[in-house]
Structure 1
Amino acid sequence: MSQEIVEPLVLTPPTTQKEVSAVADFVSGNFGGMANVLVGQPLDTIKVRLQLDHGRFNGAWDCAVQTVKNEGVLALYKGMATPIVGIGAVNALLFAANSQFKKALQDHPGQVLSIGQIGLAGAGAGIVNSILASPVELLKIKMQAQYGKGSGSGRYFTGPIDCAKYLIQRDGLANGLGRGMYATILREIPAYFGFYTGFEMVKRHLTKDQAHDATVTQLMISGAAGGIGYWIFSYPFDVVKSVVQNQVEVPKGFYATRVMKQIYARDGLNGLFRGIAPTILRSIPAAGATFTAYELSMRMFANL
């Protein structure tokens, strides 16, 4: 009696991807990063302010209302000059690193990787991405944490360059612009595992019965899934990073666990997830725009 061999179920895209140049990856990653910032900056400002809040705001809506009422609508775009350029470069590095990790995991060019391998490549890209992401987000957070125009007791920064100069003069390069690198790495590893696996799983599901590439709508939906996966896998580490990068004191040693305990002791479990609602809301259009801009740009280069 013969025994039927059942092949394991593997999700695959309708077509294999063409090999693309590093230049295409870099330029497309920039487009993806810029799209992310343009779509998501206001909700990102609310997220950061809630993460650093100690009783000023009664939730995300109250934060948005108070910010606009006291500082104007443009306050929701505080720190945008840094990410619009910096996160373009960050995403360029991220997507280029992800492509290289995927190539390293392939047995032959064009091989379709498993979802687990996609996640592994994403986690590796997250580590590389931290090199640029940490200082760019540090400057962004410093600008977003400022209320009004110098009414607080701390140093008021007129822009990201002023902020960078001050931090380097006060704390040096490593503890100034490099502050929060450890927390950023801890966040980026699970974050980009969730980011790329969420995108690929949904994209492959949506395109499994079609012979052509994903449509813009399918890319937006898949990107949104990736954005949600990013934050579900990593949010408490992002709270730790924001707290550490905004504090005056230089963090000592392997501080992530200590800072988590401090947040939990003061605010409970809610403290580690404060601001997650606007963050998830922001991630849906922002990550959708990121992946869509990247994929469409890559297709343009492939057709040249």
Structure 2
Amino acid sequence: MKNALADGGQQAAARRPSDTAPAARRRSLIRLTRPWLLLAPALVVLAGLLLYPIFQVGKISLQDWEVKFGGGQGEFTGFDHYGDLLSSELLWKTVMPNTVFFAVACVGLTVVLGTLVALLLNRLGTTWRAICSVSILAAWAMPAVTGTYVWIWLFQPEEGMFSQLAGALGLIDPATTNWFTERLPFYAIATLNVVHHGFPFVAITVFAGLLTIPRELYEAGMIDGASAWQRFWKITVPTIRPVFLVVTILSTIWDFKVFTQIFLMPGGSGANEEVYNLGVYSYVQAFGQDDYGAGSAAAVLLTLLLLLITVVYIRTLFRQGEEDL
């Protein structure tokens, strides 16, 4: 009897792996597919809103596209538009330098100013912190169009506040000085505009990171005789380095594709080639000169630059996560 039971148990044990294998495969398949099924609606929407337009722009960049009523048609030209774009003197001497140096200046100033404001918020009491937070968020909430026209009004020739102030100090002649005709002052005003609009995001994000730093670390640094500058570089920066990384990369992506602030300023919509950036150049080529293929090629170039920045951002985040582990 005992031998029979033992034999039956052995047979059941022998059958168990084969019986449970299909169930294990089903559970594994569910684990693999469930996240994608849950993400499917959002991915479909993103594909419709992003991937399809990108595909269309890439296709038009390979054609001489002619707009007609109810649509358009194009003649395939291969990479001719890319060849013309990459061999253009305007691109390398004006458009790319404007795009890159403007983005670098805006990112640097935005991160520095936002960090200083975050440090100030961290030292204020509850009441003043709330007042300052609401004040800087008002700048963030202001539409880019509205903010741009405010800065245009401030630097308006003759009647602008800064023009009159500089004239009173004897720095310029308000009657003959136009801040928007030359490349350097034009982008100086655009930089002020973008930094004013972007620093609140950095300030609030860095301030949130500062709240996660234990007070004991600063107290230990003060006991060891560390100055405020040393405490910032030795405690604050290493502790919330991922926060600084995120705000820097996101600001870089946003500032590389600035369009509204440049296009709305006097001369920025195509009248002055010296102030083109890559976004405005693409728009002017496509809609100002009806050369949709060339404009699409410029848009693809800008997209590739942003994708490169995004890849660097993701790899840096992963590397940072591995170092933290």
TM-score by length of 2: 0.29
TM-score by length of 1: 0.30
The structure with more helix, counted as a fraction of residues = 2
Structure number, greater radius of gyration: 2
